[in-house]
Amino acid sequence: MTDSSNQHVPAPADDGRYRLLVEAVTDYAIYMLDPGGFVSNWNAGAERIKGYLPEEIIGQHFSRFYTEVDRANGLPERALSIAAREGRFESEGVRLRKDGSRFVAHAVIDAIRDDDGKLAGFAKITRDITERREAQQQLERAREALVQAQKMEAIGRLTGGVAHDFNNLLMAVLGSLELMRKRLPDDDKLNALMDNAVKGAERGAALTKRMLVFARRQEIKQESIDIPTLARGMAELLKRSLGKSVALETRFPLALSTVLADANQLEIALLNLTVNAGDAMSDDGEIIISARDEVVGPGDDALKPGRYVRLSVTDNGEGMDEATLSRAIEPFFTTKQPGKGAGLGLSMVHGLAQQFGGRFVLRSAPGQGTTAELWLPAEEPSQQMVASGRSDKESPSQSPLTILAVDDDPLVLTNTVAMLEDLGHVCFAAASADEALAILEAQDGIDLVITDQVMPYITGLQLARTIDKRWPDLRVILATGYAEIDADQTMKLLRLSKPFTQAQLAAEIAGLGLRSRKGAASRVINFRGFNGDQANNGA
């Protein structure tokens, strides 16, 4: 039998201690409301979060913590009604402090009833979750940015691969048409058809270049550019492209840093942005082209710290909704009517900005127009201009050369050999780097190697490095539509951008100033069974 006198009997709850505990809490605003919603007590946490002293707020209606919009919509009354009916109301929303500043609150309202079940009031607990909400939003923005970057990277890879294949096809078409033109009889109808075919192929080449720019694989030549001078030089072209009904204005500061960029590509980008702005406006629209210096600090995720020039094209047109804006730079996405645009203008500008080391930003809202910003790295005083092209002092070679052409695409290789033959040169043809090295081992007197870059197993640059080690005096021209090779990696290589014409090929060869070596072969040689039907295994 247990002695009841030894059992512990809990002491009655000490309401005073409980009240002291609640009043001492500072992380939560804990206070009571009477049945009408008027504040009846106030703890230290409520004073810290909301900014009111007890004597300032006790007796006031709790609706003063809500925004004017929420009060007009009856949110405070609805919260008390639900709490009284269901026993509890929980919500998150923007609330006001005494000084008028806003914060994000998580609030719980519990109904308090007496022993008879009659509503005695409400207990309200509020927590400031502003920092947590901002952290969540930052995480969501980072995830969204990552998804967008991954999507654009995937689209870029696909676009670049398609553009590379089209480059090879257009290379064969344009080169063959060029050679056919020389052999056609003097017939006006045939010449007109030939001109039409060439124009179509050239339009395809221009489209392919835009795709490569978006994929950041188009070769660019950086030079020092003064943006106001470039824009003034394009003024007439821009006005003609827009038409007379759209007003065009330029706003540049007296002092503006120069940028390192490709002048031709930057002109195309500015033209695309201006024409797009014009298409989005009515007859009384206005376009403003402006620029300003910017400094980016270490906290920016999109740009490296440094100095930039922000080139902006702003219109007062229709603007874009959020869904359209999110897809605006995707290749082939367009809001224009069929036949009015390929949907590559903005994607080209985006790729160009990335390739220059900058970024492209679109800001738009329905009815508020659009601003397109092209951020370009500013040229530092110590930077040297990147030389491009060959020197005008180089004297062209007049004698036929013995040239080794290397390309894994049989259409391109056949076309290149045909153009070289037509120029009077002697040719060897290799469908891979291994075949090219075998020819160089077996054949003396080769003056020049022209090689593709993207080939299976061994790239054109790797082939050029091997040639440089074993035949250091042998010159190499790298023919490619890609820009994936750094300038300091190309040694003494010349770059020939695909698709190239016979005139461009001749100019690059002549610019080397080579003379034919003795012992060269006097005929075209296709090595190891190369023929026009051989499968293309390249990327």
Nearest 5°: the CA angle 365, 369, 375 is 90
| Separation between Cα atoms, residue 174 and residue 178, nearest integer Å | 6
Q: 173, exposed or middle or buried, with CB in 10 Å at 0-12, 13-18, 19+?
A: buried
The whole-number pLDDT of residue 11 equals 41
Q: Alpha carbon 377 to chain centroid distance?
A: 15
Show Cβ contacts of residue 28 under 8 Å, excluding neighbours closer than 6 positions: 43, 45, 49, 125, 126, 127
Q: What is the CATH number of domain 14-128?
A: 3.30.450.20
Q: Alpha carbon 61 to chain centroid distance?
A: 52
| Separation between Cα atoms, residue 517 and residue 530, nearest integer Å | 25
Asked if pLDDT for residue 12 goes beyond 70, the answer is: no
User: Comparing C-alpha atoms, which of 273, 507, 501, 504 is closest to residue 392?
Assistant: 507
Interstrand relation of 402-406 and 448-452 (parallel, antiparallel or unpaired): parallel
Start-to-end CA span in the chain (Å): 92
Which amino acid appears at position 72 of this protein?
A
* % of the chain with per-residue pLDDT over 70: 74
- Under the banding of pLDDT at 50, 70 and 90, the label for residue 432 is very high
Helix (H), strand (E) at residue 194: helix 188-214
Per residue in 109-124, pLDDT (tens digit) is 999 998 888 999 999 9
- Under the banding of pLDDT at 50, 70 and 90, the label for residue 151 is low
- Considering the chain, tell me which residue range(s) the CATH 3.40.50.2300 domain(s) occupy: 402-529
Residue whose tokens read 């990696």: 489
Nearest 5°: the CA angle 147, 148, 152 is 120
Which amino acid appears at position 424 of this protein?
G
Q: What is the mean pLDDT of residues 82-108?
A: 92
Q: What is the mean pLDDT of residues 179-198?
A: 77
**Beta-bridge mates of residue 525:** 428
Q: What is the CATH number of domain 144-214?
A: 1.10.287
Asked if pLDDT for residue 324 goes beyond 90, the answer is: no
Question: Using an 8 Å Cβ cutoff, are 460 and 452 in contact?
Answer: yes
Residue whose tokens read 């994607």: 347
Mean pLDDT computed over every residue of the chain: 77
| Separation between Cα atoms, residue 175 and residue 479, nearest integer Å | 14
Q: Does the domain formed by 223-377 have CATH 3.40.800.20? A: no
Tokens of 433: 């780097």
- Under the banding of pLDDT at 50, 70 and 90, the label for residue 388 is very low
| Separation between Cα atoms, residue 141 and residue 389, nearest integer Å | 43
Look up the CATH superfamily of 402-529: Response regulator (3.40.50.2300)
Which amino acid appears at position 207 of this protein?
L
User: Comparing C-alpha atoms, which of 141, 150, 155, 154 is closest to residue 330?
Assistant: 155
Look at 135-139, 142-146, 513-517 and tell me which has the smallest mean pLDDT: 142-146
Q: What is the mean pLDDT of residues 170-174?
A: 76
Residue whose tokens read 């072209």: 237
Asked if pLDDT for residue 500 goes beyond 50, the answer is: yes
Asked if pLDDT for residue 528 goes beyond 50, the answer is: no
Three-state DSSP class for residue 170:
helix
- Considering the chain, tell me which residue range(s) the CATH 1.10.287 domain(s) occupy: 144-214
| Separation between Cα atoms, residue 412 and residue 168, nearest integer Å | 6
Look at 45-54, 70-79, 353-362, 435-444 and tell me which has the smallest mean pLDDT: 353-362
Q: 305, exposed or middle or buried, with CB in 10 Å at 0-12, 13-18, 19+?
A: exposed
User: Comparing C-alpha atoms, which of 282, 189, 214 is closest to residue 243?
Assistant: 282
What number of CA atoms fall less than 13 Å from residue 92's CA on the CB side? 7
| Separation between Cα atoms, residue 89 and residue 80, nearest integer Å | 8
Structure-derived torsion over alpha carbons of residues 250, 253, 256, 260, reported in degrees to the nearest 10: -10
Asked if pLDDT for residue 47 goes beyond 70, the answer is: yes
Look at 174-188, 284-298, 485-499 and tell me which has the smallest mean pLDDT: 485-499
- Considering the chain, tell me which residue range(s) the CATH 3.30.450.20 domain(s) occupy: 14-128
Asked if pLDDT for residue 206 goes beyond 80, the answer is: no
Asked if pLDDT for residue 463 goes beyond 90, the answer is: yes
Asked if pLDDT for residue 303 goes beyond 60, the answer is: yes
Tokens of 396: 């062209």
Tally: H helices and E strands in the chain? 16, 17
Look at 129-133, 156-160, 240-244, 250-254 and tell me which has the smallest mean pLDDT: 156-160
Q: What is the mean pLDDT of residues 318-323?
A: 82
Q: What is the mean pLDDT of residues 215-230?
A: 73
Using alpha carbons, list the distances in angstroms from residue 16 to 20, 34, 47, 336, 350. Answer: 6, 20, 20, 73, 67
| Separation between Cα atoms, residue 485 and residue 493, nearest integer Å | 11
| Separation between Cα atoms, residue 265 and residue 449, nearest integer Å | 29
Cis peptide before 410 (omega within 30 of 0): no
| Separation between Cα atoms, residue 95 and residue 75, nearest integer Å | 12
- Considering the chain, tell me which residue range(s) the CATH 3.30.565.10 domain(s) occupy: 223-377
Q: What is the mean pLDDT of residues 15-28?
A: 64
Question: Using an 8 Å Cβ cutoff, are 360 and 266 in contact?
Answer: no
Number of Cβ within 10 Å of residue 419's Cβ equals 23
Number of Cβ within 10 Å of residue 434's Cβ equals 14
Tokens of 522: 């006097």
Q: What is the mean pLDDT of residues 403-408?
A: 93
Q: Alpha carbon 173 to chain centroid distance?
A: 32
Q: What is the mean pLDDT of residues 273-290?
A: 81
User: Comparing C-alpha atoms, which of 23, 99, 352 is closest to residue 216?
Assistant: 352
